[in-house]
């Protein structure tokens, strides 16, 4: 229970359905004094909101301290990824490690049969294949299946998504019906430990590195200017590069090894495919041959028809049917067959 309307309503629905419900909140991030101002959500106020909902529902409520694992597995990952020239996805890492590994283990220790969350996605069991399938949420605008591609069969056997078949508007209706004061609570749009565009300052505070200047070059290596730190840029970025080239320039590569920012035309920002690592196949074992899928290369990406081909060592090559802009190392590529998530991995490089 995060203190938001989704997890609160999920708890209320499960109790209404006759489940014996226990509420758990994660205490994730105790801000150092000099970076308190960067906080987004998951605050003590949110935990108190969750506690009030639990009181309203008359269910037991626990707060689990996960500050150490969150700091190591999410915050440190976030900072180090940017320093390596990648664009991290901390929300996906939080789901993978905090919720469906660490918190699930805690739930089992509390003798819970299932861990339920407020995600907009669905899990179904296929009697023919004897495997669980991960499906998109019914609400297309809220579908969060992209963030769940790392889930394993064992985890899915113990996970429930009560909101997967509901629209967000229906969830708020239920929250009002249950008399929950958080029914109209706004959703956070920021990373939970850093707000908006302040992540540059956050990284500088966490590392003590406020400027690490290097060259801005074109794809032929011609010097165009200077940057003040590669972590301030992401693939496909056009605004704020800081050079006057007479025509729009886009970030097409972040060369962390040589501390160089490579820019080019919008055409240069397109790719024919990518290589992904740490592939997880959900409803199948790793396919031996290539497979037609729809690939999403970021959360709000519409998806592109693709061919995915395993290349060994947990890696895969993805070929797009048509070039895509801003293939970004560090982000996830997730594979779909219609409503089903077949698998996904972490983008290593573009082709």
Query: Which residues are designated catalytic?
Result: 94, 192
User: Which neighbouring-strand residues pair with 218?
Assistant: 263
Task: Reduce the DSSP state of residue 253 to 3 states and report it.
Answer: strand
CB half-sphere exposure, 65, CA atoms < 13 A: 2
Exposure b/e, 96-112, CB count within 10 A at least 16 = b: bbbbbebbbeebeeeeb
Task: Reduce the DSSP state of residue 80 to 3 states and report it.
Answer: helix
260 and 213 in contact (C-beta within 8 Å)?
A: no
Backbone torsions φ then ψ of 321, nearest 5 degrees: -70, -30
* Run of H or E including 312: strand 304-312
256 and 309 in contact (C-beta within 8 Å)?
A: no
The structure tokens listed for 106 are 């805690």
């Amino acid at each position: 229970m995060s203190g938001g309307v989704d997890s609160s309503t999920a708890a209320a629905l499960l109790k209404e359905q006759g489940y014996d419900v226990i509420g758990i909140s994660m205490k994730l991030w105790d801000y150092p004094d000099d970076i308190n101002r960067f906080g987004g959500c998951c605050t003590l106020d949110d935990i108190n909101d969750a506690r009030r909902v639990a009181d309203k529902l008359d269910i037991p409520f626990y707060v689990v301290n996960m500050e150490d694992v969150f700091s190591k597995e999410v915050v440190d990952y976030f900072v180090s990824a940017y320093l390596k020239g990648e664009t991290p996805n901390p929300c996906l890492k939080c789901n993978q490690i905090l919720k469906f590994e660490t918190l699930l283990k805690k739930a089992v220790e509390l003798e819970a049969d299932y861990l339920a969350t407020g995600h907009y996605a669905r899990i179904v069991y296929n009697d023919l294949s004897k495997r669980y399938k991960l499906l998109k949420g019914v609400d297309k605008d809220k579908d969060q299946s992209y963030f769940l591609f790392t889930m394993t069969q064992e985890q899915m056997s113990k996970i429930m998504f009560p909101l997967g078949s509901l629209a967000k508007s229906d969830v708020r209706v239920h929250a009002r019906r249950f008399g929950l004061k958080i029914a109209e609570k706004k959703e956070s749009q920021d990373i939970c430990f850093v707000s908006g565009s302040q992540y540059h300052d956050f990284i500088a505070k966490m590392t003590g590195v406020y400027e690490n200047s290097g060259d801005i070059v074109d794809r032929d290596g011609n010097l165009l200017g200077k940057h003040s730190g590669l972590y301030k840029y992401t693939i496909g970025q056009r605004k704020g590069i800081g050079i006057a080239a007479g025509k729009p320039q886009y970030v097409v590569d972040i060369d962390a090894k040589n501390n160089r920012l490579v820019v080019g035309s919008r055409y240069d920002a397109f790719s024919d495919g990518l290589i992904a690592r740490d592939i997880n196949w959900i409803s199948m074992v790793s396919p031996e041959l290539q497979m037609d899928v729809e690939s999403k290369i970021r959360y709000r990406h519409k998806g592109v028809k693709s061919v995915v081909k395993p290349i060994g060592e947990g890696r895969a090559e993805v070929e797009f049917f048509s070039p895509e802009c801003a293939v970004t190392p560090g982000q996830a590529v997730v594979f779909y067959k219609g409503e089903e998530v077949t698998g996904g991995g972490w983008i290593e490089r573009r082709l």
